[in-house]
A and B are shown apart, each in its own frame.
Chain A
Amino acid sequence: MSASAALAEELPLEVAIKATYLYKFAPFVQWPDEAFPTPTAPLRLCVLGNGPVDKVLDEVVAGQRVGQRSISVQRFRNARAAAGCHIVYVAGTNDGFVAATLAGLHGTPVLTVTDLPADARAHGVINFVIVGNHVRFDIDDTAASSNRLVISSKLLRLAHAVKPRP
């Protein structure tokens, strides 16, 4: 198999995993009370920008629930529009775009997830990272606390790197 073909085959697995993680993070995150109007209100999983994860997200999320909540996937173009989401996946590798988006969502009860290399200008509360052959993630608990989010220690323990909250 050619390298590109192999890469093309691997990519979907990594992408699928990242997509599943997006909603799998939800049970380990505690939003402030006003984030959910009712106990059965759906979990809003929003995507800003384009990327491979976005393409498989609908498939992966189909039929899944987070506790009692269903998952609704939405796509937006800017941060302001995504203000009511619970999880926002900022797709793309455009450093500047991501940084601006994150700044716009800072302080709102949103779990921001990014997929950027370590030396990027800004990262979300959770940032995917590949460790060995596995999809892992780094957690910025300081940012989480700024967004009034409480992240379960179970998730923190699994994180590759944690920036602890102050």
Chain B
Amino acid sequence: MAMPNILARWKMAPTLTLVGAAILLSAGIATALYQENLYSAQKVREVTVQAQILAASVTAALDFNDNVAAQEYVNALKANPEMQAAGVYNADGLPVASYVREGRTRLPAKVRSPATSVEGNQLVVSVPVAHDGAVLGTVYVRSNIDTFERRLTRYGVIALLAGMAALLLTVLGTSQAALTRANRALEARAGELADANLRLYAEMEEREKAEDALRQSQKMEAIGQLSGGIAHDFNNLLTVIRGNLQLLERRIGQGQTDVKRYVDAAVEALKRAATLTQRVLAFSRRQPLSPRPVNLNRLVEDMNELLRHSVGETIKLETRLTADWWIYCDANQMENVLLNLVINARDAMPRGGTLTVATENAHIGALAGDATGMPEGDYVRLSVRDTGVGMSEAVRSKAIDPFFTTKPQGEGTGLGLSMTFGYVSQSNGYLDIDSKLGQGTIVTILMPRYDSESAALRA
């Protein structure tokens, strides 16, 4: 995992930089001190040499008591701005020539030589004047070894170094603090995000539950729609059973034994009632969405009984099932959809009519794709056509809106078509309503073909 390594190394960086800065600073100071030492030693050499040159020059002057000449040599040192004082002493230790800059210092009365000493930032050198082994006198020289500019530069450089180190530390400190703050802010943010995520999941769960409940209620509503018809059918079956039992009673009362056909008829009716009950129960059972390959034709055929019962006797139910491609969907939901459409069609034909349910294979090419908005490919088309009252364009355009219904209050929630449309869209399908007032409506659904081979390749 690359991230922890980078983080670890990043944490080490400030320490490393600190160490590096400390080393640089020490090296800088050490170099500066070494330079100072070198400079001091060099300066001592220089001044000593100057004193020695002066001594060599004044030998004759001292020899011959020519103080004027000696003074000339001493005056020559004035040219050196760092020379603060110079003096020539004779063999008796008395000064015979001297120079003092601006009266800041005084020449000592007696001088011992040779001698070298440092007083503050001044160097004092005294050197014997000798000629041919005889000591004629002494030369005394006092010089600045540290000009004001040099000291300023030295302190300035050190101050600069220290300042830079301080700056570096400050920058490091600030950036570390900023980094820590940023990290904490990030953690807080991550925490917030995690919380938000949890809330989102919770909401999604809630939504799913709500959708489940809605689907269930839709189903119940459909069943509610059915129940009228189903109760009617049940009633008929019960009437058949009662009638047959009554006949059975009468014939037995008359002493006849040829009664089997009455029993058979009653049993047949019972069977049909049981089947009907089971179908309704199966339909109403709460089931979660589980898409699987579905043969639409078979689904429609299986629902045939139920559909016939829902449309009633005044409406003729036709089926034209030519599709042999499969689709991939939740079978229960598809049943729901079909029932919904059939019930809507029935409701549109109060005085009876023809209801046609058709399936066929369909291929949507590029051009047709533009019209439907569906990608090019194979589809199964399911259409439910009625010859009922139809819808105006205004109504048609609002048909799939939730809670929109043309039924009187109390009848129907108006959710059926919107839920149908939602489910079809979710399944990557397409739904279209075509209607003409007074002529009828046709609802078309396109579901993508389930191709087991290509699905296996895709998986």
Q: Kindly state the separation between the CA atoms of A24 and B57 in the bound complex, as whole angstroms.
A: 16
Question: Restricting to A18-36, which residues have a CB under 8 Å from any CB of B?
Answer: 21, 24, 27-28
Interface residues of A (CB under 8 A from B): 17, 21, 24, 27-28, 65-67, 134-137, 152, 154-155, 157-158
Pick from B64, B66, B69, B132: contact of A67, CB under 8 Å? B132
Minimum C-beta distance from B179 to chain A (A): 77
Q: Kindly state the separation between the CA atoms of A27 and B64 in the bound complex, as whole angstroms.
A: 12
Q: Kindly state the separation between the CA atoms of A158 and B57 in the bound complex, as whole angstroms.
A: 11
User: Which chain B residues lie closer than 8 Å to A136 at the CB level?
Assistant: 66
On whether the beta carbons of B65 and A134 are closer than 8 Å, the reply is yes
User: Which chain B residues lie closer than 8 Å to A135 at the CB level?
Assistant: 64-65
Closest to B134 in A: A65
On whether the beta carbons of A158 and B133 are closer than 8 Å, the reply is no
On whether the beta carbons of B132 and A158 are closer than 8 Å, the reply is no
Minimum C-beta distance from B189 to chain A (A): 92
Closest to B68 in A: A134
Is there a chain A Cβ closer than 8 Å to B131's Cβ?
yes
Contacts A17-B65, A134-B66 hold; do A155 and B133 have CB atoms under 8 A apart? no
Contacts A157-B69, A158-B66 hold; do A65 and B133 have CB atoms under 8 A apart? yes
On whether the beta carbons of B60 and A152 are closer than 8 Å, the reply is yes
Interface residues of B (CB under 8 A from A): 57, 59-61, 63-66, 69, 131-134
Closest to B73 in A: A157
On whether the beta carbons of A158 and B131 are closer than 8 Å, the reply is no
Q: Kindly state the separation between the CA atoms of A24 and B69 in the bound complex, as whole angstroms.
A: 16
Closest to A64 in B: B134
User: Which chain A residues lie closer than 8 Å to B64 at the CB level?
Assistant: 21, 24, 135, 137, 158
Q: Kindly state the separation between the CA atoms of A135 and B68 in the bound complex, as whole angstroms.
A: 13
Closest to A27 in B: B132
On whether the beta carbons of A154 and B59 are closer than 8 Å, the reply is yes
User: Which chain A residues lie closer than 8 Å to B60 at the CB level?
Assistant: 28, 152, 154-155, 157-158
Closest to A21 in B: B64
Question: 23 A-B Cβ contacts within 8 A?
Answer: A17-B65, A21-B64, A24-B64, A27-B132, A28-B60, A65-B132, A66-B132, A67-B132, A67-B133, A134-B65, A134-B66, A135-B64, A135-B65, A136-B66, A152-B60, A154-B59, A154-B60, A155-B60, A157-B60, A157-B69, A158-B60, A158-B61, A158-B64
| The 8 residue pairs across chains A and B that have the minimum distance between CB atoms | A154-B60, A67-B132, A27-B132, A158-B66, A24-B63, A158-B60, A158-B69, A158-B64
New A-B pairs, 9, CB < 8 Å, besides A157-B69, A158-B64? A24-B63, A24-B64, A27-B63, A27-B131, A65-B134, A66-B132, A135-B64, A135-B65, A155-B60
Closest to B60 in A: A154
User: Which chain A residues lie closer than 8 Å to B132 at the CB level?
Assistant: 27, 65-67
Minimum C-beta distance from A68 to chain B (A): 8
Minimum C-beta distance from A137 to chain B (A): 8
User: Which chain B residues lie closer than 8 Å to A157 at the CB level?
Assistant: 60, 69
Minimum C-beta distance from B156 to chain A (A): 46
Minimum C-beta distance from B59 to chain A (A): 7
Minimum C-beta distance from B139 to chain A (A): 15
Residue of B60, B131, B133 with most chain A CB atoms under a 10 A cut-off: B60
User: Which chain A residues lie closer than 8 Å to B63 at the CB level?
Assistant: 24, 27
User: Which chain B residues lie closer than 8 Å to A134 at the CB level?
Assistant: 65-66
Residue of B57, B64, B69, B132 with most chain A CB atoms under a 10 A cut-off: B64
Q: Kindly state the separation between the CA atoms of A63 and B131 in the bound complex, as whole angstroms.
A: 16
User: Which chain B residues lie closer than 8 Å to A28 at the CB level?
Assistant: 60
User: Which chain A residues lie closer than 8 Å to B133 at the CB level?
Assistant: 65, 67
User: Which chain B residues lie closer than 8 Å to A21 at the CB level?
Assistant: 64
Closest to A17 in B: B65
Closest to A24 in B: B63
Minimum C-beta distance from B245 to chain A (A): 168
User: Which chain B residues lie closer than 8 Å to A154 at the CB level?
Assistant: 57, 59-60
Q: Kindly state the separation between the CA atoms of A65 and B132 in the bound complex, as whole angstroms.
A: 9
